[in-house]
Amino acid sequence: MQNNTAEKLDVNRYLLDGLNPEQREAVITLDKALLVLSGAGTGKTKVLTTKIAYIIENGYAFPSQILAVTFSNRAAREMKERIFNMTPGADAVWLGTFHSICAKILRNNADLIGLSNNFTIIDTDDQLKLIKQILKELNVDKKVANHVANAISRWKDKCIRPNDPRVDATSIEGKIYAIYQERIFSYDSVDFGDLLMYVVRIFKENAHILQKYREKFRYILVDEYQDTNMSQYMWLRMLSPIGAGLCCVGDDDQAIYSWRGAEVGNILRFEKDFMNTKIVRLERNYRSVGHILGAAASLIAKNATRLGKTIWTDGDSGEKVIIQRAYNGFDEAKIVAEKIEKLRKDSVAFGQMAVLVRAGFQTREFEERLIAYGIPYKVVGGLKFYDRQEIKDLIAYMRLIYQTNDSLAFERIVNIPKRGIGASAFSKLHTRAIERNISLFQASKEILGENSLRPLVTESLTTFIKFIESMRGQKDLPPAQIAKIILDETGYMNVLTNEKTLESQTRIENLKELLIALEDFEDLPTFIEHVSLVTDSKRNSTDDVVSLMTLHSAKGLEFEAVFLAGWEEGVFPHSMSLQEGNLEEERRLAYVGITRAKKYAFITYAMNRKVYNQWQSDLPSRFLAELSTEHVVHSKGKTGR
């Protein structure tokens, strides 16, 4: 007995000695429903992994009796590796994403809802393809496919089935949902939303199954609890109705995914949802210097709906957060590029620097400045500006207008937007071009003269060819004007506008940004050459590159130096979020951005910015005034730290 006690003391000393008091308290608390409020950079993963090892090593549960849920496969892999290094047998822990855990439960109980245990999980591409098929069957324009897919996903996020009264069965979305769900069920398939919805249904309709899993999982740990949606919340509440053995880790100040269905209210009402609760606040930050943390804390304190905590460090205060005003967007990008060069000379690696923007369209000016300065970069979580689909489409139109023999450009846009020129018709054009060694444009004109295509294809192709030829007569117009005519007369912009999805809105913003970029070019040849040079810039083969990304993509990352750009009203906070009443989420996004920085944080804003070819002067972001003057400094110089 003494030996066992000594062994436990040694193990616990090994597991707990490296923890601060709050982390230790979070690890050893097992008799309450525990919410660990973990601020940015406070070591939440260390707490989660150590708690699992602590439970196993002290014999409180077998590994197979522990359920640990993450939000990404990457996080699950990292946790598994850390736990395995601390304790043997960790492979038996049920550790994975909500979807992977529910897939496992569903395969074991698929017969209860009429599926085989070999059901197929379809991805988002297959989901969209099926929705488009159904739209075609109903003679509905396929351009609403993304909108319908989003509507279906939001319903499933709330465990709302097609026959639920909350689904308007007479609407296009409701009709498609009913057919879609019946169709994939007949295919013995499920999508990601079904995984949770079906498991919740099984638990509701089969009390003995629910009880089996309640008894199986003695301890349940959930990471990033602030990002849970309603179906994930319902699933968790069913498994742990009173919270016995439950530990949820999260940060209400980093809840930034409401547009994806996340419900910040899940974490805010934790104490009301479960019995015998305890909250442990992890506030000691191991990432950032004091002034950065002070600035972030002063900003997020302005949010009313939060549980409350203040991150701090016992390390150096470091440099204050620098706020710098730029004359316009070009000047802003130039200031950032020059600061990056200065930091690089001061031995900060490119790979330890990031430029964070609110929306993807903002990356264009920074990309062009970084290229001009010879600074290697990568766009994280997205494509480089000139690699984006809508940008390449519009440029392909401009290339074809400039040079009709450009068959690659012709091939890209002959059926964009959709004009009924399918694979069969294009094959005839391609064969003729090869046989006669002529361009696709010339081959089209020849074939049209022979009346060998179907009438509808003939009409569409004729209209397309005439449009390109008419634009050839206007190719000396300013490039921005040419681009605007293309977007208007082809209906490209209308198609995106009518989709009414977040993706289509992002693509519209990118096209508007391209129109602004085109204002800098006097003629079409100059712009086309510029694009060729920009897109030909080689990607750096090493990891030592500046990261360029949106604030949403930056969550969970950290850098020595962070540049937060475009802090103006309407840009950040974003005008759409303000209209929707999501100011507090925008503030949380700003908090996330600032806390990515370890040593240096720079915030820039422009006095003037071109939006859709019109100059506008927006007020500086309200967030700037909310930063404590104790932790920030306004730079008067144009460059330098």
Using the structure block, give the residue that is written with the tokens 């060998």. 452
pLDDT at res. 1 = 40
C-alpha 25: how far from its chain's center? Answer: 33
Q: Does residue 386 contact residue 535 with C-beta atoms inside 8 Å?
A: yes
Question: If you average pLDDT over every residue of the chain, what do you get?
Answer: 90
The per-type count for the chain, helices as H runs and strands as E runs, is 29, 17
39: Cα within 13 Å, side-chain hemisphere: 27
**φ, ψ of residue 611 in degrees (nearest 5):** -125, 115
Q: Does residue 588 contact residue 254 with C-beta atoms inside 8 Å?
A: yes
Contacts of 624 (CB under 8 A, 6+ apart): 323, 567, 603, 605
Please choose, from the candidates 543, 547, 540, 541, the residue with its C-alpha nearest in 3D space to the C-alpha of residue 561: 547
* Six-digit token string for 248: 């949820």
CATH 3.40.50.300 fits 291-376+540-635, yes or no: yes
What confidence tier does 236 reach under pLDDT thresholds 50, 70, 90? very high
pLDDT tens per residue across span 198-211: 999 999 999 999 99
User: Per-residue pLDDT averaged across 375-382, rounded?
Assistant: 87
Q: Does residue 248 contact residue 34 with C-beta atoms inside 8 Å?
A: yes
Residue-by-residue DSSP string for 350-374? GGGEEEEESSGGGHHHHHHHHHHTT
Please count the other Cβ atoms lying within 10 Å of the Cβ belonging to residue 286: 13
For residue 277, pLDDT over 90 is answered with yes
What confidence tier does 637 reach under pLDDT thresholds 50, 70, 90? low
* CATH numeric code, 2-104+197-284: 3.40.50.300
Using the structure block, give the residue that is written with the tokens 């706020």. 323
pLDDT at res. 242 = 93
In the chain, the percentage of residues whose pLDDT exceeds 90 is 64
For residue 638, pLDDT over 60 is answered with no
pLDDT tens per residue across span 22-59: 999 999 999 999 999 999 999 999 999 999 999 999 99
The vertex-53 CA angle with 49 and 58, nearest 5°, equals 150
Q: Does residue 292 contact residue 597 with C-beta atoms inside 8 Å?
A: yes
**φ, ψ of residue 454 in degrees (nearest 5):** -60, 150
pLDDT at res. 540 = 45
CATH 1.10.10.10 fits 120-187, yes or no: no
| CA separation for the pair 252, 231 (Å, rounded) | 19
The helix or strand, by DSSP H or E, that contains position 133, with its residue range, turns out to be helix 124-137
The helix or strand, by DSSP H or E, that contains position 427, with its residue range, turns out to be helix 423-436
pLDDT tens per residue across span 320-360: 999 999 999 999 999 999 999 999 999 999 999 999 999 88
291-376+540-635 has the same fold as 120-187:
no
What confidence tier does 586 reach under pLDDT thresholds 50, 70, 90? very high
pLDDT at res. 502 = 76
For residue 538, pLDDT over 80 is answered with no
Q: What distances in angstroms separate CA 108 from CA 142, 199, 220, 401, one per listed residue?
A: 37, 10, 20, 59
User: Per-residue pLDDT averaged across 296-317, rounded?
Assistant: 95
Q: Does residue 549 contact residue 379 with C-beta atoms inside 8 Å?
A: yes
User: Per-residue pLDDT averaged across 385-412, rounded?
Assistant: 88
Strand ranges inside 171-258, DSSP E: 189-190, 219-222, 246-250
Contacts of 51 (CB under 8 A, 6+ apart): 26, 27, 221, 247
User: What are the catalytic residues?
Assistant: 44-45, 223-224, 254, 596
* Six-digit token string for 219: 């301890």
Report DSSP state, residue 474.
T
CATH superfamily of the domain spanning 387-532: PCRA; domain 4 (1.10.486.10)
Q: Does residue 353 contact residue 377 with C-beta atoms inside 8 Å?
A: no
For residue 640, pLDDT over 70 is answered with no
pLDDT at res. 213 = 97
Domain ranges of the chain: 2-104+197-284, 120-187, 291-376+540-635, 387-532
Q: Does residue 607 contact residue 617 with C-beta atoms inside 8 Å?
A: yes
* Six-digit token string for 541: 């083969």
Please count the other Cβ atoms lying within 10 Å of the Cβ belonging to residue 105: 20
**How does 392-422 read in b/e, with b if 16+ C-beta sit within 10 Å?**
bbbbbbbbbbbbbebbebbbbbbbbeebebe
Asked which of 69-73, 304-308, 605-609 is least confident by mean pLDDT, the reply is 69-73
pLDDT at res. 328 = 93
Report DSSP state, residue 241.
S
Query: Global pTM?
Result: 0.81
pLDDT tens per residue across span 70-87: 988 888 888 988 998 888
| CA separation for the pair 148, 146 (Å, rounded) | 5
